[in-house]
Amino acid sequence: MKKSKIKNTTNKPDGNTQKIMFSENIIKETSQSRKSYTLSINSVDELKSLLRSNPKKSKISKPSIHKSSQENKLNQNKVLFSLCMIVRNEEKMLRDCLESVSGLVDEIILVDTGSEDKTIEIAKEFGAEIFNFPWLDDFAAARNESLKHARGEWILYLDADERISPLNIEKLRKALSEADEKLGALLCTIESLHYIDEDNQELHRGAYPRLFRNLGYPKIKFTGRVHEQISPSIRDAGLGMLGSDIVIIHEGYNTTKDVMESKIKRNYKLLLDHIQEEPTNGYAWYQLGQTLAQMRLKEKAEESILFAIECGDLSDSVYASAANSLSKMSGSRRDFEKALFWSEESLKKAPEQVFGLTLKASALLQLKRAEESVSCFEKALLVLSDRKGNPQSGFDIMLSPKSIREGLEKARKLL
């Protein structure tokens, strides 16, 4: 199905154009100490109707792309590794990030979107090439600007609040310098501590193609205003991805409540813009659902994630995470049959994951299916103890062994 571009207008559509109106109430701050949010998403039913009436998505023909000046530059001055970054006011985080890639990358391409602190000074200490770029409310646009300047055969992209864990640099450089031409990217494990409240944090682990072959922009490019992706571009080029033991530590979610709420508001706005541009992009709807859940708008979050699945274009790993979210939401309202269903849907796509196994075990426990519950809790503990390889789901939540054992003991008591 051709994706309709939404225009924010009240004009009636003509006979050749389908327009989907998307309305929302602006986030409102209450007088209470914590913030509450209200919004109305009125386009879901219209979007579903549009999708169902056009079940087959037509492929849009792509124009042939002649060699760009950047591709010619690549052929003339190749290096092995480029680090590409976008930054703004990152003086507190940037130094540790750049130190973590010392000896790994051959050049640092840094796109600055308006820093007013010492970010640029720090970057220059590490020999970074710096390019100014206006902030357009579009993370993909800023990242793509960095790709235009990269000369490396391979590109690593990081944020300032990320660090590469120690690795065998020479082994990695040798492997990629000799890699099969059909290899497009290596999956890296991103480990993020997520702030829950003053006393609780969760470790999330996800696998993302952070190290990819430089085909030259626009053959290789990011898409999405926020939670931008490089994977579609790699797949469109007919290239494959392999797992790796590269671990990237992300510190951006382990922060204060005020900082997180600011990020949530920003992401919410950008995701609404993305969905207006691509109303049947399942990944954008999934991310909107996650953001709405963070805003404690449970019904709208569930509605968005269900529609993300209905769009039919989620990767297996993202589908697994979406199903986990629906399982957790169902369990929270004590619909344990549905919680079980969605946990099993998740495990079909990603069988070796702590979160999905624990969700299934918990649902089985509530349904008094003790023997099955015990088996799932035990498997969850095994997966938790062995973190080798990349996570199979979009992100896996490393629940505490203590909480899993408590569930296991409750299940054993029912035997």
| Residue 356 sits in the same domain as residue 335 | yes
| pLDDT for res 197 | 64
Number of domains in the chain: 3
Q: Check which CATH number belongs to the domain holding 277 and give it.
A: 1.25.40
| Residue 224 sits in the same domain as residue 364 | no
| Residue 382 sits in the same domain as residue 409 | yes
Q: Check which CATH number belongs to the domain holding 366 and give it.
A: 1.25.40.10
In a domain, 9, yes or no: no
| pLDDT for res 388 | 75
In a domain, 59, yes or no: no
| Residue 233 sits in the same domain as residue 381 | no
| pLDDT for res 71 | 52
Burial 54-87 (b: 16+ CB within 10 A, else e): eeeeeeeeeeeeeeeebbeebeeeeeebbbbbbb
Cα-based distances in Å from 310 to 244, 291, 336? 31, 18, 22
| pLDDT for res 136 | 97
In a domain, 295, yes or no: yes
Contact 162, 251 (CB under 8 A): yes
Q: CB count, 10 Å around CB of 28?
A: 10
| Residue 234 sits in the same domain as residue 358 | no
| Residue 167 sits in the same domain as residue 234 | yes
Residue at which a domain ends, from 291, 312, 333:
312
Does the predicted TM-score (pTM) go above 0.85?
Answer: no
In a domain, 58, yes or no: no
* pLDDT tens sequence across 197-244: 666 778 899 999 999 999 999 999 999 999 999 999 999 999 999 999
In a domain, 28, yes or no: no
**Main-chain dihedrals φ then ψ at residue 192, nearest 5 degrees:** -125, 130
* pLDDT (tens place) for every residue of the chain, 415 residues total: 333 333 333 343 343 333 333 334 323 332 233 334 434 444 455 555 555 555 433 332 333 334 445 554 555 567 999 999 999 999 999 999 999 999 999 999 999 999 999 999 999 999 999 999 999 999 999 999 999 999 999 999 999 999 999 999 999 999 999 999 999 999 999 999 876 666 677 889 999 999 999 999 999 999 999 999 999 999 999 999 999 999 999 997 767 788 889 999 999 999 999 999 999 999 999 999 999 999 999 999 999 999 999 999 999 999 999 999 999 999 999 999 999 999 999 999 999 999 999 999 999 999 999 999 999 999 999 999 987 788 888 889 999 999 999 999 999 999 9
| Residue 75 sits in the same domain as residue 143 | yes
* pLDDT tens sequence across 65-103: 344 455 545 555 679 999 999 999 999 999 999 999 999
By residue range, what is the domain housing residue 282? Answer: 256-312
In a domain, 37, yes or no: no
